[in-house]
Chains A and B, each alone.
Chain A
Amino acid sequence: MSEPLLLVANLCKAFPLGGGFFGGGKRLLKAVDGVDLSLSRGETLGLVGESGSGKSTVGNCILRLLDPDSGSIAFDGVELAELTGQALIKARARMQVVFQDPQSSLDPRMTVGGIVSLPLRVQGRARGRELRERAAAALSEVGLGPECLDRYPHEFSGGQRQRIGLARALVADPAFVVMDEPTSALDVSVQAQILNLMAGLQQRRGHAYLFISHDLTVVRHVSRRIAVMYLGAIIETAPTDALFTHPAHPYTRALLASVPLPDPRKRRNLARLTGDVPSPVDLPPGCRFHPRCPEAMAVCACEAPPKVSLAAGHDVVCHLHSSG
């Protein structure tokens, strides 16, 4: 097996919450708590979880948009976690990102040509005429014509803006793109256009995607492997088919059972879990899922569960599978 393109080990990121006015004790919000990930060249890994599970923080740490507290991020053999300045710009030249909200992720004062060519300018890889030509080439790959170069983001619809975001990600020929909820703000018919476009680009260019989403049906469609996050930790990783046919973690099972299937002949009890996701400030002791878990045992409340490998590439972090 070839060496993975991206290898993340024991990534941690906590955000200090402001203390009280009189300087009460600072508390920590553990957004990401010991995450391991690996991604091969040309692969799509889906990262799913509910709001506040830390999935976007993982993406932002990998890109070093946030500085991780600890852990290692090896991209193409280079350790990113400690790099700064020019060395960091050089190391992440082949990483890109597409954000959820196509409204706020495009500068309203820049033309589309300026937006799309910005990665090349930042990296000093092109100048003058060439910038414009490469921007036009990237736009044509996402189905937009060269007449868009001198227009502004507000002149485009949500789906078209997300195409512009994709063009910006592609222009520098990345090996790896973080897709942070790229279709969550779009309607389903437009979402289908963007997902098809992403798949086509990957086939031609061979880049890898980290696809972050809360929507299991979308993740299932695009990913070969899926990692499920809950409160800052990955609780199950599996090949897509295995995850949907044999989900091992009770949270994954509940998550799959809560998806409203678009088929009126398959109605089911959607209320599989009670309660809400607890606050990541005061994590429950032991397994972080045990207060909501329908199968919790005594051990779950006091001991952190171990990671168990069930099959090739199928890992679960749960006491139910540890003593088998």
Chain B
Amino acid sequence: MPTPLLHVRDLSVSFATYQGRAMVLDRASLSVNRGEIMGLVGETGCGKSVLSRAVLRIIPSPPGRIDGGEIVFEGRDLLTLPKKAMRALRGDRISMIFQEPMSSLNPVYTVGNQMREVIRAHREVSRAEAQAVCLEMLEAVRLPEPGTVLAAYPHELSGGMRQRVMIAMELSCRPALLLADEPTTALDVTVQGQILAILAELSAREGLSILLVTHDMGVVAQICSRVAVMYAGQVVEVADVESLFARPAHPYTRGLIASIPGRAGEGDLYAIPGSVPSPIDPPPGCRFHSRCTQSGPDCRRAVPEMVLVAPDHAVACHQCPGGGRP
């Protein structure tokens, strides 16, 4: 089996709040293989963005704190890396794009200025060489008239164009891993389609690995090869995308898929009862047990471990055959 490009193991992160410490990530594990698009799905507050930010160590601290675990990338544990080495890695080997491209771009500098800065921070190149790389990257994300875009300020571009500029900028040093945190959530559906197509193409052509954080199961189904499902700070299921949609094993994943409207069905949608528990005082055992229709006494007592139920399909649930404890 090939070693994964990124391996997050038992990562725990908490934040200090006035109500107490919020356990936002609780021993979360996942891996991203070379050249694949790995989906990370979950609802608001499940910790999916915190996980992707922890990989780059950009969680504000305080109030945030990484309590344990390891993040192995290209054979090195990022959590023990010196600050300077970590800084060299960001934007070079690992890049990140965010939901709102306007707030990620500096409004007082031109696009070209900001793109060249990234390149020259990591590479010993002249201004002209950096300019050439910029133009090439803007063409790769299918921006018309890249020369005009380079001279433009962010406010002169539309939302879709800004997100393309962000992708071009983040990929200009040819990273091995792109962390994409809800990259299309702020965009209209026709523009979202264009951006997803670009990400899928770059991954296939350049062998780029992408960790795609999203709440949209449709986006996952369309471009991801594997998926991790998170609930209340824990990874509850990891599978290849076909298995996840055809044979979802965790009751939460099943509820999530069943509550998507528009599969031509009339009548009521399936709705998961109740709401997500608070991370400050999470329920003991399986964090989903209070909303689960199948929970038993084990579910309240012990946190279920991730267990393989099929090749490349792991689930953390006491009620799944062979699930719960190894």
Contact = CB atoms under 8 A, between A and B. Distances in A.
A187 B261 contact: no
Contacts, number: 128
A7 to B, nearest CB: 28
B19 to A, nearest CB: 13
Given A189-B256, A258-B189, A217 B262 contact: yes
B160 interface: yes
Contacts of B223: 267
A261 B222 contact: yes
Interface size class of B (residues with CB under 8 A): 35 or more
A269 B218 CA distance: 13
Contacts of A64: none
Interface size class of A (residues with CB under 8 A): 35 or more
Contacts of A264: 221-222, 241-242, 244-245
Interface stretch (A31-39, A110-118, A193-201, A309-317): A193-201
A95 to B, nearest CB: 26
Given A157-B275, A260-B221, A273-B194, A187 B215 contact: yes
Contacts of A188: 43, 215, 217, 256, 259-260
A263 interface: yes
A195 B193 contact: no
Contact of B257 (A159, A262, A267): A262
A220 interface: yes
B268 A271 contact: no
Interface string B191-231: 11110111000000000000000011111111100000000
Interface string A156-167: 011110000000
Interface string B250-277: 0000011101111110001111100100
A189 B222 contact: no
Give the secondary structure class of B's interface.
Answer: helix
Interface string A136-171: 000000000000000000000111100000000000
A98 B199 CA distance: 36
A202 interface: no
A74 interface: no
Contact of B262 (A157, A218, A272, A274): A218
Interface string A255-294: 1011111111111111111101100000000000000000
A308 interface: no
Contacts of B255: 189
A187 B242 contact: no
A272 B222 CA distance: 14
Nearest to A241: B264
A34 B203 CA distance: 45
B161 A261 contact: no
A276 B161 contact: yes
Given A192-B261, A263-B245, A270 B193 contact: yes
Contacts of A277: 188
A296 interface: no
Contacts of B220: 262
A267 B222 contact: yes
8 contacts: A188-B259, A192-B259, A216-B189, A262-B257, A264-B245, A267-B223, A274-B194, A276-B161
Given A260-B216, A273-B194, 17 more contacts: A187-B215, A188-B259, A189-B255, A190-B271, A190-B275, A192-B269, A218-B261, A221-B269, A222-B261, A255-B189, A259-B218, A260-B193, A262-B263, A264-B242, A265-B245, A270-B192, A270-B194
Interface of A: 50-51, 157-160, 187-193, 195-196, 199, 214, 216-218, 220-222, 244, 254-255, 257-274, 276-277
List 10 tightest A-B contacts by C-beta distance, closest first: A217-B262, A270-B193, A260-B218, A221-B261, A192-B259, A271-B197, A192-B271, A258-B193, A50-B188, A187-B43
